[in-house]
Amino acid sequence: MNSALQAVEQDWRAFDRAHVWHPYSSMTAPLPMFPVQSARGVHLRLEDGRELIDGMASWWAAIHGYNHPRLNRALQEQLGKMAHVMFGGLTHRPAARLAAHLIDLTPPPLQHVFFADSGSVAVEIAIKMAIQYWYAQGYPERNRLLTIRSGYHGDTFGAMSVCDPVGGMHALFTGVLPKHSFVHAPQCRDDSDWQEAELAEMRQQLRSGAHQIAAVILEPIVQGAGGMRFYCPEYLRQVRMLCDEHDILLIADEIATGFGRTGQMFACEHADIAPDILCVGKALTGGYMTLAATLTTGRVAAGICSADPGVFLHGPTFMANPLACAVANASIELLLESPWQARVAAIGRGLEAGLAPCRDLPHVREVRVCGAIGVIELRQPVDMRWMPAQFVDRGVWLRPFRNLVYAMPPYVISADELAALTQAMVEVVAAAGQR
């Protein structure tokens, strides 16, 4: 009689609240949810007909906006051929094309591509590549990672183990997570205030621990979900040199920063360095489908395959899904044909100007902008029962976390839409101070 299907048909929202997990959510005390009916361009359309300007690009992903005719067509064309085939023993043109795009766009040493189904898995693969590389070289004890605090690399176990140890999930999973080494996060914002002392802790750790460290892993230039922090290119350059000095691999997690978000196609370009292993995801498919990739150099690929077991030990069921590869190819081609660099710069200027009034608010610690990312850091955590609804009432979609109200809109946002977005941020942040 009372099947779940009957319940969902009677009131799908109530059913969703009672039965469906959302990211980082409680099943017993759920936060307000806003039902989306459709999305087009930079707008999300709610079930009640309200239109919201999207300030999140669906967590860095929807760089071209929603329902883009070019991306839709790429998917439809691929769908007419095949939605999926296994990648073991079979191959297809969309995957090869995508690998070629990634090799052309990323630093020259990166020549080999492993496709994964999500960002977290791409990070797992990067870690596994580093460990398997040293194993094959005859150094099985080189299986530790070194990272900087305030990082975020995903929610699976390997990725979690290199997330910020305080803000991340370490306390809960102590004893389960592998123990890696952390050094303080870089403080310098600009190369002009670079301090040699920034590197002292990492230099010391690498000197004493090099024999057991496989790789340094970090997010270049912008640390995302670990705190929305920005740091200077010189730090990255110095870390690259230190890794070379100690013969340690460098893993760059560009899952958030990739595809132009920071003003360069990849954030490593700000420092003109090449990592040994690079993770991409999020904007890879323009926000259409889940797909990620891990790239590596000829040296690492050959190293892994030069000794027992002679193969890289990974192979997800949905590896290199043709639909995802086809839409990723279209998304990259669309990006390359667009004036993306000018758009990102214009968004950066719009965020600077639009968010400037927040700088004077006593409960605001800092306002910062990098590329097309704008962050308001408050002195107190935001009230998640209150703030998202305030944004929705003002016609925008933003999802703050902890004490951070931030925006990284689709690159196609217009100047007027961006002004409306920042206006709402200023109003709501000001109102938060009055409560």
Q: Which residues bind ligand PLP (CB under 6 A)?
A: 118-120, 123, 152-154, 219, 224-225, 253, 255-256, 281-282
Q: Min. distance of Cβ 119 from ligand PLP in angstroms? A: 2
**Contact by Cβ (8 Å): 54, 410:** yes
**Shortest distance in whole angstroms from residue 72 CB to ligand PLP:** 22
Q: Least separation, in Å, of the C-beta of 156 and ligand PLP?
A: 7
Query: Residue 35: which residues within 8 A CB-CB, separation 6 or more?
Result: 13, 46, 47
Q: In angstroms, rounded to a whole number, what is the distance separating the alpha carbons of residues 215 and 239?
A: 11
For 49: left if phi > 0, alpha if psi spans -120 to 50, otherwise beta; the answer is left
Residue of 24, 48, 308, 360 marked catalytic: 24
| 43 vs 128 by CB, closer to ligand PLP | 128
Nearest to 126 by CA among 214, 29, 222: 214
Q: Which is nearer to ligand PLP, 105 or 210 (CB)?
A: 105
Q: Is 152 a catalytic residue?
A: yes
* 135 catalytic per annotation: no
Q: Which residue is nearest to ligand PLP (CB)?
A: 119
Question: Any catalytic annotation for residue 66?
Answer: no
- Calpha distance 218→189 (Å, rounded): 16
3-state secondary structure of 296: strand
Q: Which of 164, 235, 282, 406 is catalytic?
A: 282
The three-point CA angle 51-335-263 to 5° equals 90
List the catalytic residue out of 133, 135, 152, 235: 152
The answer to whether the beta carbons of residues 412 and 372 sit under 8 Å apart is no
128 classed as catalytic:
no
Query: Which residue has 């030990």 as its token pair?
Result: 313
**Taking Cα atoms as reference points, which of 409, 100, 103, 152 lies closest to residue 260?**
409
Q: Closest separation between CB of residue 368 and ligand PLP, Å?
A: 17
Q: Would you say 321 or 390 has its CB closer to ligand PLP? A: 321
- Whose Cβ is closer to ligand PLP: residue 158's or residue 224's? 224
Residue 354 CA to chain centroid, in angstroms? Answer: 24
Shortest CB 255 distance to ligand PLP, Å: 4
Minimum Å gap between C-beta 290 and ligand PLP is 7
Which pair of tokens denotes residue 206?
């690498």
Residue 408: what residue type? M
Whichever of 127 and 214 has its CB closer to ligand PLP, that residue is: 127
* Rg, the chain, Cα only: 22
Q: Which residues touch 91 (CB under 8 Å, ≥6 apart)?
A: none
Catalytic choice (54, 117, 164, 253)? 253
Output 160 or 432, the one with its CB closest to ligand PLP: 160
Catalytic residues: 24, 152, 253, 282
